[in-house]
Structure 1
Amino acid sequence: MDHRLLLNASALSPIMYSQYSRKISSKSTMDLTGEQLKKAETQLKRYLPSSLQVYGYLCFRNRSDQVRPDPVSVLVDRWPEFSVLICKPLCEQKGDLFKDILVFAKNNAILEETIRNSYVIDWTRYLCFGINSLHMGILTAVASEKYSLVTEHDSLVKKPFSLFFGSSGISIGSLDESHVALVNGTWKFGQSEVAVRMIRNMIANFPSCCVLDAEAKPVSWILTYASGSMGMLYTLPEHRGKGYAKVLVSRLAKRLHSAGYPVYCFIEDENMVSYGLFKKLGFNEADPSYRESWFQFNDL
């Protein structure tokens, strides 16, 4: 299934970094911490949009005073000049398996060596990857030696441009814990207990916006993934055609932009309604030769 990605990336200043990092395997894979994460963010910005997901995650991670990011190991093949960077969520509960492993790579051979490292990837459990489609052959080849590919979702990444923020005149709020079941029940990849933990974490720790009815119940909403991507935009059928989605996208985009985060989202090619909405709000497409893909391996 193809998607478009529309985005806006804000400028960030370079930050000094420590020259030391912790060696965690015989393959010299490094687990970044502290100032190294800030330096990695600066380096990844040079590779937008192909680095967008890992860049977006580090933007949130490095500003933990504003949000509480997921517990994730950030691994590189070497430091400070890395060719592969992987953001791997820590698995504390079964629901954590549903979270994406985000991958950025500049070198296919080093990527293959890195993902074969059992410390980096545990191929015995359920896995969900977000990775440039140019590397999909390597990922699936390594996986096929272990287990079969379960599902695949392709996404097209687009280039950042300026974003217009309009005034809506609509009173909106944020989602809370009581809305988890509603979001899970309407999300196309949700409707199961395994997605609940991820959605609960997104609502609790990352920006969201919703339109509330007279009884303070959400009728339209949008969330932010741990990678910084806006998503799960949904309006209840009986409330569509009222401009709620436009209001929510504008408000959340402005909020993310003001905080210094990249502003972007993934849209399926067939979803021309959403595509038209985001285009009208000032989002533009980027290099169509770049694709980000999602792969799931093994049973959950």
Structure 2
Amino acid sequence: MQILTCPAQLQRLEAALRSSLPRALPVYGAVLNINRGNPGDFEVVVDAWPDFGAVLARRRGEAPVNDSYRSLNSAFYRDVGAYRALLESPGCLRWDAAFHIFGLQDGVVTVSQDIALAKGVELEVTEYYTYLHPDPSTLSEPQLDPDVQLGALSPAHVELLDSTWPYGGNTWSRRYLHELLQRFPHLCLQGPAGDLLCWVLSDGFGAGAHGYTVPAQRRRGLMRALTIMAARRAHARGFPVYGHTATGNRGMHRLQEELGHRRLPGLCRFVLHNPGLARAEL
């Protein structure tokens, strides 16, 4: 196991991951952020260098044992055996803590299942569709209604964001959302009085994150407009335009497909290790 810290190594890794898109998207997005100032304080771990067979992207430092939001790892492998060896390497993961691993390859689940069975660790798997836009430059900047303006979110909005997020409702989720607002691009639409109408966030893996339109403002095309704006801005920064959508969220599936996003084959799976710990409060 090796943590890559040299800028030249990280640039070389970025190029290698780019050649493995779209399967490498979750790690590639994190490496893009690392190589552009590292606003999320991330690091990447490989099984070997330069001929790596597996890589994890994650936050630096140690998180509390029950904070699975901070302990979020994205994975990509060229060889599933190398991936298994990396996860079993001393110091790679805390198997007595709550943490997520996610990725677009089947081995992300099966390797965790095999190791967890041997260690007596419980797992929960959540599945998403991943959408990727092949050419965001084709998206035209939308025109907003006169009573709608583009704005920015602040820490004062965290409680509202948390209450409207299916994965919110606890101390760790609020801290996570607060950090997203501080560290990564986000957009919102506001009414004449500055009231929030709609918002979209992005995360440390370069993906679209929490998006929401308040119920009274739906069917106005606000999420459509904001999705386009966020896509154009991500593309201008050199990032892929992608995100993970719940398999049952048909409205968001339809919107993304109308805008030209393509659903990638298979599923993105988020594997939560030690879910009982993750639900323990401070």
TM-score by length of 1: 0.84
Equivalences for 1:1-300 in 2 at 5 Å? 29-33=1-5, 34-64=7-37, 68-91=38-61, 94=64, 97-99=68-70, 100-135=72-107, 136-158=109-131, 160-163=133-136, 164-170=138-144, 171-286=149-264, 288=265, 290-298=266-274, 299-300=277-278
Q: What amino acid is aligned across from residue 119 of structure 2 in structure 1?
A: K
Distance 1:116 1:92 in 2: 18
Q: CA RMSD in A?
A: 1.7
Query: How many positions carry a matched residue from both structures?
Result: 267
Distance 1:252 1:70 in 2: 19
Note the alpha carbon deviations across 1:254-297, whole angstroms, 9 max, x for none.
Answer: 000001011111122321111111112221233x2x43210111
Distance 2:203 2:171 in 1: 18
Whether the 8 Å contact between 2:151 and 2:187 is mirrored in structure 1 is yes
Structure 1 residues 158, 241: CA separation in 2 closer, same or farther (over 3 Å shift)?
closer
Distance 1:90 1:30 in 2: 14
Distance 1:208 1:278 in 2: 18
Q: Mean Cα displacement is larger for which, 195-204 or 93-102?
A: 93-102
Distance 1:158 1:220 in 2: 20
Distance 1:116 1:235 in 2: 42
Note the alpha carbon deviations across 1:205-239, whole angstroms, 9 max, x for none.
Answer: 11101011222121210000110111211001111
Q: Calculate percent identity across the aligned residue pairs.
A: 23
Distance 1:89 1:145 in 2: 26
Partner of 1:6: none
Distance 1:87 1:228 in 2: 12
Q: What amino acid is aligned across from residue 47 of structure 2 in structure 1?
A: D
Structure with higher RCO (Cα < 8 A, 6+ apart): 1
TM-score by length of 2: 0.89
Whether the 8 Å contact between 1:90 and 1:96 is mirrored in structure 2 is no
Distance 1:248 1:282 in 2: 15
